[in-house]
Amino acid sequence: MGRLFGTDGVRGLANGSLSPELALRVSEAAAQVLGRGKKRALAVVGRDPRASGEMLEAAVTAGLTAAGVNVLSVGVLPTPAVAYLTGLYDACLGVMISASHNPMPDNGIKIFAAGGHKLDDAVEDRIEALLAEDAAQRPTGAGIGRVLNASGARDHGLVIPDQYSLEGTHERYVEHLVEGTGQDLSGLTVVVDCAHGAAAEVGPAAYREAGATVIAINAEPDGLNINDGCGSTHLEQVQAAVREHGADLGLAHDGDADRCLAVDADGNIVDGDAILAILALAMKDAGELAKDTLVATVMSNLGLHIAMRDAGISLRTTAVGDRYVLEELRRGGYSLGGEQSGHVVFPKYGTTGDGILTGLRLMARMAQTGRTLADLASVLETVPQVLVNVPVNDKAAVAAAPEVRDAVSEAERVLGDSGRILLRPSGTEQLVRVMVEATDPVQAKQLADDLAKRVASV
């Protein structure tokens, strides 16, 4: 059996590979590992709006309370909100039930440690090891965890300052986001594609609170329409809406709102690399870019490396996955990092990627400079990049196959110094991702197609 945890928690087909039984066992094991030694531990649990989240939340809650942990259910909120509230309420763990940008039938369980931090590999391994053991003796009677509401929290020993009332969790998160913006956004009009996901309420609310005029689209989740032809993986709707309304920009989130991609006033896409470049320059100008260093993954375009070098900014790269960006940010004491996909992390304001905060900070740069998004994004000239996702049965085995590695080596020989090749298994799906960058776009596509065919033949 392969490793249960991927790059972003446990993910699979809801009620299929990700069953309620597995959700219960994983959450119970996580409670035993992360709540160990605490007399009455607390877990914050949130979810995105997909229908299976209701079922899985019940299973996760059962697992946590069976381990003697109190559960504070905060309802539908973005992943970064659950991480933030986990730290705010001094919980020993947080659980977000979401499959992010994946289609509606999928779901996932993302677990945060105390402080709202993502788990490292060693902690995940300990949780997985518990799953293989016989179930531990569970508490009974008064030892069973409780599911808390606003009025019952204090009755069960949870002390929360008045300004952090449980009744205002959504509002408190919006306040937190706006506090991290530091700029009045009055005069800017933005189209926000909420992907019928977790950002549907708090996203537009935060942008309006910061002063922007907001046109929200795909903000009516019904449990079945999340990510359905919309959001950060389908930018056509936000592009069209920006042109239709004459907006200054458009922002697109994914299902759990930890991502943000943008389009300029003409509907041109501004991806995560361009957003990182804009924000890195803004923070450098403000003296906020620690050690003049940006953290990104190996998937970032060569153009980002060039732009940062020209601006006197160092670029450190990590493996793909915002957890690895987070680890490097913490290790080096850096203040900005992210991914081409639109995960952007500001350690001063959050412990994970936050799409809404990213959108706010991007608009703050526009308001501060008076420049258009297109003008700001022009700092980055992308090197042609081709990405092909190849469906396979065993992503790890195929990616490591000798014939695949030999094909990559031969393609690298052909490419020489004019680009680069990256082939890796997806962290969340049964795919092998083939990425080729080359100054010649025709050559990049040909090499990517040839490698994809070799991968598919294994």
CA 420 to the chain's CA centroid: 26
Q: Residue-wise over 173-186: b if at least 16 C-beta within 10 A, else e? A: bbebbbebbebebe
CB-CB contact of 226 with 196 (8 Å): yes
Please identify which of the residues 100, 300, 341, 426 carries the catalytic annotation: 100
Does the annotation place 406 within a ligand binding site? no
Q: Are 333 and 291 in contact (CB under 8 A)?
A: yes
356-369: burial string, b at 16+ Cβ within 10 Å, e else: bbbbbbbbbbbbee
Report the alpha-carbon angle 126-128-132, nearest 5. Answer: 110
Sole residue written with tokens 């920009």: 249
Contact 334, 308 (CB under 8 A): no
To the question of whether residue 121 is assigned a binding role by annotation, the answer is no
Annotation says 100 is catalytic: yes
The three-state (H, E, C) secondary structure of the chain, written as one string = CCCCCECCEEEEEECCCECHHHHHHHHHHHHHHHCCCCCCCEEEEEECCCCHHHHHHHHHHHHHHHCCCEEEEEEECCHHHHHHHHHHCCCCEEEEECCCCCCCCEEEEEEEEHHHEECCHHHHHHHHHHHCCCCCCCCCHHHCCCEECCCCCHHHCCCCCHHHCHHHHHHHHHHHHHHCCCCCCCCCEEEEECCCCCCCCHHHHHHHHCCCEEEEECCCCCCCCCCCCCHHHCCHHHHHHHHHHCCCEEEECCCCCCECEEECCCCCEECHHHHHHHHHHHHHHCCCCHHHEEEEECCCCHHHHHHHHHCCCEEEEECCCHHHHHHHHHHHCCCCEECCCCEEECCCCCCCCCHHHHHHHHHHHHHHHCCCHHHHHCCCCCCCEEEEEEECCCHHHHHHCHHHHHHHHHHHHHHCCCEEEEEEECCCCCEEEEEEEECCHHHHHHHHHHHHHHHHHC
Return the bridge partners of 148, or none: 72
73 is in an annotated binding site: no
The three-state secondary structure class of 372 is coil
Residue with token string 């049965």: 393
271 among annotated binding-site residues: no
Extract the annotated binding site.
Answer: 100, 254, 256, 258
Residue numbering of the annotated binding site for Mg(2+): 100, 254, 256, 258
Please give the positions annotated as active site. 100
